[in-house]
Structure 1
Amino acid sequence: MKAEILGALLLDLYRAARELPLAEFQRGALDRLREVLPFDAAWWGMSRPDLDLHSSYPYNLPPTFVNVWTQHRHGDDLATTVIANPGVTVHFDSQAMFNSTGLRELLMAFDIQQALCTLVRNPALNLVTFLSLYRFSGRTLFSAAERHFKQLVMPHLWAAWTANWVAQLASARVHRASSQVAFAITDQQGTLHDAEPRFADLLRREWPGWQGPELPAELRAGLDGGRPVEREHVVAQLYPVRGLFLAELRARSALESLSPRELVIAEHFGRGESYKQVAAALRIAPATVRAHLRAIYFKLGIADKTGLTRILDRRDETASPITPPGQPPADQRRLSR
């Protein structure tokens, strides 16, 4: 393929890394790749060399695809070949697919007649990132030129994807300008792939001996439920995004030690109201307000209204959850030129 076709594709991939939300990057990148290297379906993800999946994005494939592959993965000769030859794009035609006990099921169940597969290694995490492009019945064979083109593109797809993680973290940070909140990208097994420096600092408030790269077991349990994981010092929320997770970690506020009544009084008084104004608003005696404030100051370890206001301000910086990764504007969903 011509160099200008490759150059234009790479420019669009790196633009997508900056502009598309994490939830849409892989589809947008594959839509664009499909314009210059035709294919019917694809599978993009990460795994251990032993084929234990850490991230999975099937493109134009039914939901059952990954389960079928998982049942027969140890007979997948294509996976074995590319793991032994990282960075090399391998072509399996229909005969090679049928001869592989693991791939035969994919051929029969999903009409996958041929595949181009490439992987790149991440030695630091002992993971591989793979991308398989598939063609169904009636399509021409992938050519040698197409195989070479995909081999050239694959390292850039990996680099653009990881750049997209950084952009997602930066976007999340814009909405949470607080030292009490930090974000990270983790896979479905709880392995960290990118994180703000303060993310590790917040983790160690709860787990002082944590070294990574896997999240603590208590947080990995939250990968399935979708609910916040509340601990003594931190609260975590994990947002699923195309086989990955955006992890949000925030320090617990000292205000959480207050009773509901104390919190209401603290909010009124910390926002500038006087004893009498708080008492009138809550229909209680000013002496009762003073008694509650003494308890509030003791629990929060502060001595005056200024300290209370400071704690309330920090709470407000972290109170509103980020918008989970979602749809981009319509004019950003396609990367065609």
Structure 2
Amino acid sequence: MAAASSPLPTTALSPAGIAGFLLDIHERSNELGYHELHRFTLQRLAAVFPFDAGLLAMGTIQNGVPHGHDVVLHNKTPEFMESWEEIKHEDKVALQAFGNPGKTANVDIEGPIFDGCDRAREHCRKWGLAHVLCTSMISSAAGLYWVASVYRSDQTKPFSEEERQAMEIVVPHIFSAARRAHLGQLRTQAHIRDAHGQAGAIANESGLVLEAEPGFVDLLRTGWPGWTGPLLPSDLASELPTKPSVRLVREPVVVRADKSGGFVLLHARRSVAADRLTAREHEIAEAFSLGETHREIGARLGVSPNTVRRHLANIYEKLGIASKAELDRMISGLT
């Protein structure tokens, strides 16, 4: 009988080691805040393959020009980004990464990539960047980009091809976990308990989308064919500055926007029959579903109990239902 083969050793760069990293960041995305998760991710990634510093950056693409709105640094001070702003037009690493989204660039700063770009190379030397791994991700439909870079300062220790491949594998997961953490944090602040069956996004109060789940774009395009980000459709964006919560039905999609933590939290889902109720009908149906009597609803709304009964009869007919239990199920699915 042949001897059983020994299990392959688990190293940080082995499939098991990379899988462990991915499990860690996805699981921690449910408990850590947005920026806490970014910091945890960069620290945890350094255990998969070593690096001296790094960054995670997110932004929008408007008229073909990237505009950053969030950068998290690992082992670098804010002055690092101020220095980069002065030479960003010469940053060939960023140009290479943006030109090949999803592909990780492995760059030697002293190599030919910065020939003729002396200021950019000097910036790298000043800040101890000898070797760089850089990966970008772009959503043309949403008008968003994400960039992850890690750096080594020792010229004699370049990144290996295995490390480059590992970076390419993990970066989409890093930003997916960060998106989940940010949405979860804002949902908690907005007291939204269940977002199952909906696609989320985050915008500012001007209607500029800052982050979006992939399904959000697809759903929004069912109501606004041909929409591309990062600016929300004008009829939705125009509602945001004046109201803490907005619900807009644009068949066959429903979008709800709630102010939360200085942002606007958006949820999109496919419409259901109950979405065809008027605002007054929806208010009465929700109150009745929550247990209020005809008399209580009427007193609160300034109408008679008989008027409430007539509204409920119209609601039942419009929804094609015959019981309060059916109404409860329909109303509970609305946001």
State the TM-score bracket (shorter-chain normalisation). 0.5 to 0.7
> Which of 236, 240, 258 is matched with 2:257 structurally?
236
Q: Aligned match of 1:157 in 170, 173, 179?
A: 170
Residue 306 of structure 1 and its aligned partner are, at CA, apart by 3.9
Q: Post-superposition shift, 1:272?
A: 6.3
Q: How far, CA to CA, are the matches of 1:224 and 1:112 in structure 2?
A: 44
Residue correspondence of structure 1 range 212-251 to structure 2 within 5 A: 212=228, 216-218=232-234, 228-233=245-250, 234-237=255-258, 247-249=266-268
Q: 2:11 maps to which residue?
A: 4
Partner of 1:73: 88
Structure 2: how far apart are the matches of 1:283 and 1:237? 25
* Structure 1: 5+ residue stretches without partners: 320-337
Deviation at 1:268, TM superposition (A): 5.7
In the TM superposition, residue 153 of structure 1 has moved relative to its aligned partner by 1.5
The aligned residue for residue 195 of structure 1 is 214
Q: What is residue 141 of structure 1 aligned with on the other side?
A: 155
How many angstroms apart in 1 are the aligned matches of 2:146 and 2:301?
A: 63
Q: Which amino acid aligns with 1:156?
A: I
- The 2-side partners of 1:90 and 1:170 are apart by 34
Q: Residue 13 of structure 1 corresponds to which residue in structure 2?
A: 21
Aligned to 2:199: 183
Instruction: Give the match for residue 107 of structure 2.
Output: 90
Shift of 1:90: 0.3
Name the CA distance, whole Å, in 1 between partners of 2:259 and 2:296.
41
Q: How does 1:292-303 map to 2 (within 5 A)?
A: 292-295=308-311, 297-298=313-314, 302=318
Tell me if 1:118 matches 2:134.
yes
Please say if residues 58 and 147 of structure 2, whose CA atoms lie closer than 8 Å, have aligned partners that are also in contact: yes
Aligned residue for 1:133, secondary structure, equals strand
Unaligned runs of 5+ in 2: 1-8
Does residue 39 (structure 1) correspond to residue 44 (structure 2)? The answer is no
Compute the RMSD of aligned alpha carbons: 5.5
Give 1:81 shift.
5.0
Superposed, 1:51-70 pairs within 5 Å as: 52-53=66-67, 56-60=70-74, 61-62=76-77, 66=81, 69-70=84-85
Q: TM-score, normalised by structure 2?
A: 0.60
1:114: how far off? Answer: 3.5
Distance 1:58 1:316, change over 3 A: same
User: CA separation of 1:30/1:294 partners in 2, compared to 1, >3 Å: closer, same or farther?
Assistant: same
**Percentage identity across aligned positions?**
16
Paired with 1:280 and 1:84, the residues of 2 have a C-alpha distance of 60
8 A Cα contact 2:137 2:146, kept in partner: yes
1:71 and 1:274, CA in 2 relative to 1: closer, same or farther beyond 3 A? Answer: same
Whole-Å Cα distance in 1 between the matches of residues 297 and 150 of structure 2?
69
Shift in Å, 1:210: 3.8
Task: State the Cα distance separating 1:6 from its structure 2 match.
Answer: 0.7
- 1:132 aligns to what? 149
Q: Distance in 1 between matches of 2:160 and 2:301?
A: 77
CA distance in 1, matches of 2:88, 2:258: 32
3-state DSSP class of the match of 1:6? Answer: coil
Deviation at 1:112, TM superposition (A): 4.3
Q: Secondary structure of the equivalent of 2:11? A: helix
Distance 2:239 2:125 in 1: 35
**Structure 1 residues 201, 119: CA separation in 2 closer, same or farther (over 3 Å shift)?**
closer
Q: Displacement of 1:214 after TM fit?
A: 5.3
CA contact (8 A) 1:118 1:131 kept: yes
